[in-house]
Chain A
Amino acid sequence: MSYPPTKAPAAEVSPFDAPARWPLALLAGSALVWLVLSSLLALVTSIQLHTPSFLADCSALTHGRAQALRETAFLYGWAGNAGVGLGLWILGRLGGHPLRALNWAVVGTVFWNLGLLAGMVGIATGSMTGFSGLQVPRAVQPVLVAAFCAMALPGVLAWAGRKREGTYAAQWYAAAALFLLPWFWTATQAVLLWSPLRGVVQTIAVSWHTQSLVSLWLMPLALAAAYYIVPKQTGKLLPGYESAPLAFWTLIVCGGWSFGRHLIGGPVPAWIPTMAVVAQCLLLFHFLVVALNFRQVFAGGSLTLQYLRFGLVAYLLTGLLETITSFRGVGVHTQFTLLVPAMEQLTLQGALSMFLFGGLVYQFPRIIGRDWTLPTFVSGHGSLYMLGVVISVLSLGWAGLAQDALLNHSQTPFAEILVQLKMPLLLHTAGQFALLAGNVLLLVAFLRSAASSCCREEGAASLRPASSAS
């Protein structure tokens, strides 16, 4: 219980980590910068919900654009960078060789972040594509795919050239995520940007892409981190591990099918929402196995495990709620209301980010070879972030339920609905403020640790012979 969570025993800094130190720190650092930016934008958009005049004069931050900016910074900036950093690290460690082709990863990371920056400027100045989840201007998208391939290369090499024949669940998830993103993103670009399909098929393609982004790319990276860290932190084998391959394939095969739950009653073929119900029911098996595998996180007390525990609970809740709302009888109430962003926050900030935070908090001391310089800031981030997620999700859920009653079951004039939701929306802003404050703390802690590690490069380097001897 009292085990200091962020303590990195020197013996754990494996010789594999030393050459990968700065490439991985670059990924983690850029992830955290994007995270702070996205939570700042999330604060702006949440204020705009109850005070529409906020920043309305500023064309770059009008609500629609601020939403797109927030989403892009979060998905591609924060979760993308952090997830790839963790994925590479895990594949390198489990592959049994130091990571190769790391200069590719550095170049890829630089171009990925520059591309995203160009994309953000494009969105703010009016070149966004208008496809939710894929708002980056079309000229930037091929650059991002190419940059991603370069970033992922060390991971793919580590997977292909691994020492041992047997593999771990963490490796499947990480390798799958690195392999699948370029594949489905290219396919989506082809049918949306270069040779656009006609009419609502575009909407189907973009919903499919957004779902795949979470289910086939980001969530697998986050799960890879959890599968790697949970047994290390609890010191026990994962229970029910023999079912993990089946859970993995369930997610990979069915993960992209469930987007239709957002399209019920819409002008799309009726079988698409029906397939979402099927997929969600099949995915329950995935969630069940993940719950079994990770159930020991409820025993431990370290900060990493606290993050993972919160993430696991949120992940399971997400699975359950998405299944329930995929049925038409329920979905007709939740569709188009704030319950949808509430569930999205539960997935992205509750489950995904928490797994990634757990991974980062565990990974970072081990790659720079020294403990967090400001452990209180890190645990402060943990508390603030968890508080922020709970407040945001509950307040949006409250607003969503009230909105459903006003929108679907009464004749309240439209202009009054948003006014009546003011209370929960103000609460939501408070939640976003807690998230922002927490993220700033984590960024400061990261920068302090990285800076002090730079100053004592020799001290860190002296760990290498000690650890290779162990």
Chain B
Amino acid sequence: MKNRPLFLLGLFLAVLTSWAGFVLGSHGQLGSLTPFFDEADGQSHPARLPGLAARGQLVYADLGCAACHTQQVRRPGFGNDQARGWGERQSVARDYIFHAQPQLGASRLGPDLMNLAGRKPQAPSAEELHRLLYTGSAAHPAFPFLYETREIAGESSRHAVRLTGAAAPKAGSEVVATERAQTLVAYLLNVNSGFDYPEARPLPAQSPASPEAKK
């Protein structure tokens, strides 16, 4: 520790190695991933998010939805993500190449949202999502500031949320989804990882390490 420049150089190199190894290393490995062109259906996967949904991702990020929701499905046999109907296969890096900012999340106080539109047995509709966002539930906060209550002028808005019971607005008014709510719901219904990439398939059951294969 007596040698001052050597000490600082050591610190610098220690972090440089770590940064280059992890960040640049994984960038080298994954940074050039391209969409997968499927000859069977003549399309590339994943598709870019539609404009409305791409803006919804910003709303998702600025509300901090990732504090309680993940967007990553783990492989079969690792946790019970499949049993919960969150996705048939594990999420792979290629799923995220068009996400401006992947929101993998680290907490599952709420369900995984990677594959909401392909949820088994039944995917929620936009209407149900709006209702949940507006009224909340015992386990989900409400986001009333994403909606505005206003007088019905002439025809009812096509973005009005159909509400019943205590949450329903008084007669002559309606609860309308703001643009932010619309983009958020569009985003949630478009994050989808339905396509079966080759790298997402589980390894063959007979791995070379298993005793049967050795025989």
Which residues on A are within 8 Å of B, measured CB to CB? 48-49, 52-53, 56-59, 62-65, 67-68, 126-132, 159-160, 165-167, 172, 175-176, 179-180, 183-184, 187, 191, 196-205, 208, 212, 216, 245, 249, 252-253, 256-257, 259, 262-263, 265-269, 272, 275, 332, 335-338, 340-341, 407-409, 411, 414-419
Contacts and interface: CB of A to CB of B under 8 A. Distances in A.
A249 B108 contact: no
Given A130-B62, A272-B22, A265 B74 contact: yes
Interface centre among B19, B64, B99, B141 (most CB of A within 10 A): B64
Contacts of A52: 136-142
A67 B65 CA distance: 10
A201 B23 CA distance: 7
Nearest to B92: A267
A65 B145 contact: no
Contacts of A265: 72, 74-75, 78-79, 90
A256 B18 contact: yes
Given A56-B142, A58-B145, A245-B1, 16 more contacts: A57-B142, A64-B64, A68-B64, A131-B101, A167-B1, A199-B94, A199-B102, A200-B30, A201-B31, A252-B10, A253-B14, A253-B17, A266-B74, A268-B93, A340-B106, A407-B108
Interface string B89-112: 011111111011111111111110
A167 B2 contact: yes
Contact of B15 (A159, A180, A267, A269): A180
Interface in B129-146: 136-145
Given A63-B64, A414-B110, A419 B79 contact: no
B213 interface: no
B2 A166 contact: yes
B144 A216 contact: no
12 contacts: A52-B139, A56-B136, A130-B103, A199-B94, A199-B99, A200-B96, A245-B1, A253-B17, A265-B78, A267-B72, A268-B93, A419-B138
Contacts of A128: 61-62, 64
Contacts of B64: 62-65, 67-68, 128, 130
B63 A64 contact: yes
A134 to B, nearest CB: 12
Interface in B1-55: 1-2, 4, 7-8, 10-12, 14-15, 17-19, 22-23, 26-27, 29-31, 33
A402 to B, nearest CB: 13
Contacts of B19: 184, 187, 208, 256
Contacts of B4: 159-160
Contacts of A199: 30, 33, 93-94, 96-97, 99, 102
A204 B26 CA distance: 8
A336 B95 CA distance: 20
Nearest to B22: A208
Given A56-B142, A269-B26, A202 B101 contact: yes
A418 B23 contact: no
A411 B102 CA distance: 28
A269 B8 CA distance: 31
Contacts of A175: 7
Nearest to B68: A63
The 6 A-B residue pairs whose C-beta atoms are closest, nearest first, are A64-B64, A130-B61, A336-B108, A265-B74, A418-B139, A199-B96
B182 interface: no
Given A65-B63, A418-B139, A257 B96 contact: no
Interface of B: 1-2, 4, 7-8, 10-12, 14-15, 17-19, 22-23, 26-27, 29-31, 33, 60-68, 70, 72, 74-75, 78-80, 83-84, 90-97, 99-111, 136-145
A268 B31 CA distance: 12
Contacts of B84: 411, 414
A165 B93 CA distance: 50
B79 A408 contact: yes
Contacts of A166: 1-2
Contacts of A201: 23, 26-27, 30-31
Nearest to A279: B18
Nearest to A412: B84
A336 B96 contact: no
Contact of B70 (A249, A253, A336, A419): A336
B68 to A, nearest CB: 7
A172 B65 contact: no
Nearest to B75: A265
A207 to B, nearest CB: 9
Contacts of B104: 200, 203, 263, 266-267
Given A179-B11, A200-B104, A272 B26 contact: yes
Contacts of A208: 18-19, 22-23
Contacts of A340: 106-107
A184 B17 CA distance: 11
A196 B102 CA distance: 11
A413 to B, nearest CB: 10
A286 to B, nearest CB: 13
Contacts of A68: 64, 67
B195 to A, nearest CB: 14
Given A132-B106, A266-B91, A414 B111 contact: yes
Contacts of A338: 107, 109
Contact of B67 (A59, A63, A202): A63
A197 B27 contact: yes
Contacts of A256: 15, 18-19, 22
B144 A183 contact: no
Contacts of B66: 64, 130, 132
B15 A212 contact: yes
Contacts of A126: 62-63
